[in-house]
Amino acid sequence: MTPGPDLVMITNLVLNGSLRVATAAALGMITAGAVQAGLGAAGLAALLAASPGLFAAFRWAGAVVLLGWAVLALRRATGRAGAAAPAPAPSPQATVTVPAHPTGEPHAGSPPPGRGAGDAGPSVRQAFGQGLLCTGSNPKVGIFLMAFLPQFVPAGMAPEIGVPLLAACYLALGLLWLLTWMRLVHRLAPHLRSPRVLRITDGLTAVVFGLFAVRLALGG
């Protein structure tokens, strides 16, 4: 639940997309955590811990994924800078007022404020896949769960029952935290969706993803 790539991705999706796509990404992250917990319970975490070469391969694969997202975020930031030139004001006859959505979300097919019509965000399915890949590409998640949770299994409870229950509680708390964070960012979004702020957000996202990519590659 500490700040990391997952939280950065969720924040970026709320600002550049909507609560719907951010929720899909959060569900993808929790699904990846559940899969890693299951594989860890089946022995994969122990195998990775005992096989430095295999663990390093997983780390480097995850670093490549994070670095790719850093490049994409940097391209968005530089693209916004290039598109910052003011557009000519539309004529009064061509002005059409679109009523706001009751929930405050952008209308379907409409980009959020601060984005161009051609700068389409990810679909719900794509966001779920991004969340799945963001958490699933980090082998430390499964190893952490298998190393951290067994010590909290109540006395007298079988580990094969206690560890999955604790993992489910941990993932449920993680999902609750992500949903709470999304709501907070969504409330602040009207003040954060100016082209300048979105450009800064994309730039910071690129830096954070890049730093975590280097950290993961170096084994930190």
Is residue 174 within 8 A of residue 23, CB to CB? The reply is no
Angle between helices 140-148 and 159-192 (to 10 degrees): 130
- The residue whose two tokens read 């890049």 is 210
pLDDT by 10s per residue, the chain, length 220: 556 788 888 988 998 888 999 999 999 999 998 988 887 777 766 666 677 777 777 778 778 877 887 888 888 778 766 555 454 555 555 444 545 555 455 544 445 554 544 455 688 999 999 999 888 887 777 777 777 777 777 888 877 788 888 889 989 999 999 999 999 999 988 887 778 877 887 888 788 878 888 887 887 5
Burial of 217 (0-12, 13-18, 19+ CB in 10 A): middle
Total residue count of the chain as it appears in this document: 220
3-state secondary structure 67-128: HHHHHHHHHHHHHHHHCCCCCCCCCHHHCCCCCCCCCCCCCCCCCCCCCCCCCCCCCHHHHH
CB atoms within 10 A of CB 128: 20
What is the Cα–Cα distance from 30 to 135, expressed in whole angstroms? 8
Give Cβ neighbours of residue 181 (< 8 Å, ≥ 6 apart): 7, 10, 11
Residue 19, sorted as left (phi over 0), alpha (psi -120 to 50) or beta, turns out to be: alpha
Note the pLDDT of residue 27.
Answer: 96
Q: Is the dihedral of CA 194, 195, 198, 204 positive or negative?
A: negative
Residue 85 tokens, joined: 């030139």
Note the pLDDT of residue 134.
Answer: 86
